[in-house]
Each structure stands twice: as C-alpha cells, then as structure tokens.
Structure 1
Amino acid sequence: MTQYFVYGRDRAGTGDLKGRLTEEHWAFMDRYAAELIARGPTLTEDREESTGSLHIVDLPDDEALKVFAYDEPYYVGGAFETVELYRFHNRTGRTMWEFATAVEGYNRYLVLTKDESRPLSSDHLIVYGDLRDGDTHVGRAALVEAPDAAAAAELVEAEHAEVHPGEFGGRR
C-alpha cells in the first residue's frame, strides 16, 4: 500500500453544488474508511464556506488513486477547479483520528509548503509528511492545530507557506 495526498480545490461558486453532493461524497468515502489517514474540508478565513477537500489515503497503487480521485462525486460533479495528487510520506505515523483532543481556542489548518523535507516535533501536529511526485520531493503537507494561520505556518517552520483553515471531515 502507498499513502497519497489528494486535494481538490473548489471552483468558485460551487458551494451549493457541494452541498447537494455531500451525502454522495460521504457514501463514496465510506468505501475507503479503513484506508483514510485524514479527511476534511478547507475553509474560507471566516470558516463559513468550503474552499477545497483534502484526503490522505492508503491505496494499493496509482490506478487505485485515479479511481479514488476521479470517481469522487465532487470531482465528477464539477466542484473542483484542480485536483492535486502526490505520494505522501507520513512522518507522524498516525491518522487524524489518533490525534489527541483539540486545545481550546485553537483551530485546525492545512499547511502546504514547497520547501525541503525536515523532521518536526510538536504536540500540535495532527498529521505531517512529505509530498512526492514519483521519487521527487516537492514539498510538505501538515494538518495542525494553532491559534491562527501565522502560528500554523510557524509550527511547520515554513517561510512561504500556503495556509488553509480547515476542519476534520466525515459524517456529522
């Protein structure tokens, strides 16, 4: 099995479409429940609207990845502007469900970098790892809890980070 990072960035104005497809999306993801390492939406700064959909999943091969990414209801329905697919090397060795409860006053963030790999250690790292295109290291991805976006980037020790507010996903 290989771990993969899959991030669909929402097409502008697709909030209603994603709302209509949510149950279908959840049913699709239910088929992968045992393989999911992390999942959830990224959100606008005010955390009111979706900006994307993140999944880190353990799959047998690249063909299974294509089915996961391109048969997914949000993708099929046209909700995504782009979909990023990378191999993922999970440096925390856990799933988001194994992460301890959140710190009061902290929010969750997805932090993406295009810099070098480095080990990190923090009680606020939920899932953290390297992004790879084949054998080439292309960056890092981290799900973190932090008081704000700047603190999230600092936690990942990234000068130039793309920080997205987010939350744990799945059925509510």
Structure 2
Amino acid sequence: MEYFVYGRDRPGAFELKVSLNDDHWSFMDGYGELLVARGPTLTGDGDEAESTGSLHIVDLPNAEAARTFAYEEPYYRAGVFESVLLCRFHNVLGRTMWDFTEAVDGYGRFLVITTDESDPAPVTSKHLIVYGDLLALDGEARLGRAALVEAPDHEAAATLLPASGGRTEVRPWRFGGRPAQRGA
C-alpha cells in the first residue's frame, strides 16, 4: 500500500531543517527501495529557494508502518513541521518519480493537492509525474487527490488537477534525496 506523507514546515524552521539534512537522508536510506517519490516543496523556483515542506510517497505494509515513517522521521521529531498530512495513496499512474523521463525545458515541477472529495473524471497529461487519490488511512474515505506535475508556472500546474468545490494547494517541488542521488 502506498502512503502520502507531506510535512509542512513550521515558520522559521529552515535553518533547523538544513542542519538535519544528513539525519533525514540517513533515515530515508532505510526506505530507499520503497519510495515512489520524494522531495522538498519550495518558496520559489531555482536553487536559492527555501524549503516549505517535505513530500514522500512510500510503499509500506500498513497504516502503523506509515505512522512510524511519518512520526519517527528526524525533521518531525525535531519540530520542523507545523503539520503532517498522512494519507493512503492510490497511485493511478502506477509509476515512480524515477520513471518520469519527459522533462520539458522551461517547465517547473510542482506538488498539487486538492481537498475535493468528489469522484472527478480521470486526469491525463504527459506532464503528470505521479498522480493519485488521497484516502483515509483505512482506505475508505476519499479525501482528495495529489499530483507531482511539470508546468510552465504555478497557475498552469493548478489547472492540471482541477477541484470541484474543494481547495487546491500548489507548491514548487523538486526531486529529493542526497545530492549525489539526484537524477538517478
């Protein structure tokens, strides 16, 4: 079962988060083969952007293992996160971020989350990296959808995952992991 774990950074926690990067990456090394996607959300585009959160989609056996993953993680334990969104994730595309090979010059990468509980028509685009439904931990209630997308800007990213009556959150995002692992 896949789980969506998104820790939103507490204001003022950037320096603490940076100081914990090695601990975070070491923790994630234990889950390396189980990660579907990972990476920070950012204040803006480019290398100078500060992190605003940390996203992981991970394949784990059950909700208890997902809670351990989310709440034993070094950023969480040190108080970096203001909140953590932990949900089951139904991976509609069935791929990982490492399967995505259709990068487009001039496009940024974004995390898009909707809180739309309806059952909208499936989304299709060659710019979807990972896309799926967010479900309650027991897998019963539909909470919304999430996608990692490529788009020319924030507004275009939001249109790839429209919400009917719900809220849409869009954050710049980049592939995560140890610097030596990026692009692998």
TM-score, L = length of structure 2: 0.90
CA distance in 2, matches of 1:46, 1:93: 27
Alpha-carbon distance in structure 2 between the residues aligned to 1:45 and 1:21: 21
Question: Which residue pairs with 2:160 in the alignment?
Answer: 155
Instruction: Provide the aligned length of Structure 1 versus Structure 2.
Output: 171
Q: Distance in 1 between matches of 2:102 and 2:15?
A: 31
Amino acid at match of 2:122: P
* Separation (CA, whole Å) in 2 of partners of 1:125 and 1:110: 10
Q: Secondary structure at the match of 1:25?
A: helix
Counterpart Cα distance in 2 of 1:127 and 1:101: 12
RMSD of equivalent CA atoms: 1.2
Q: Which runs of 5+ in 2 are unaligned?
A: 180-184
Structure 1: distance between partners of 2:161 and 2:63: 28
> Deviations along 1:120-150, whole A, 9 cap, x unmatched?
1111000000000130001000000000011
* SS, match of residue 34 in structure 1: helix
More strand by share: 1
1:169 aligns with 2:172: no
Identical residues among aligned pairs (%): 61
Query: Residues of 2 paired with 1:79 and 1:65: CA distance?
Result: 19
TM-score, normalised by the number of residues in structure 1: 0.96
- Give deviations 1:27-54, integer Å, cap 9, x for gaps: 1001001100000000113551110000
SS at match of 1:40: strand
Moved over 6 A (4+): none
Q: Which runs of 5+ in 1 are unaligned?
A: none
Q: Distance in 1 between matches of 2:126 and 2:55?
A: 21
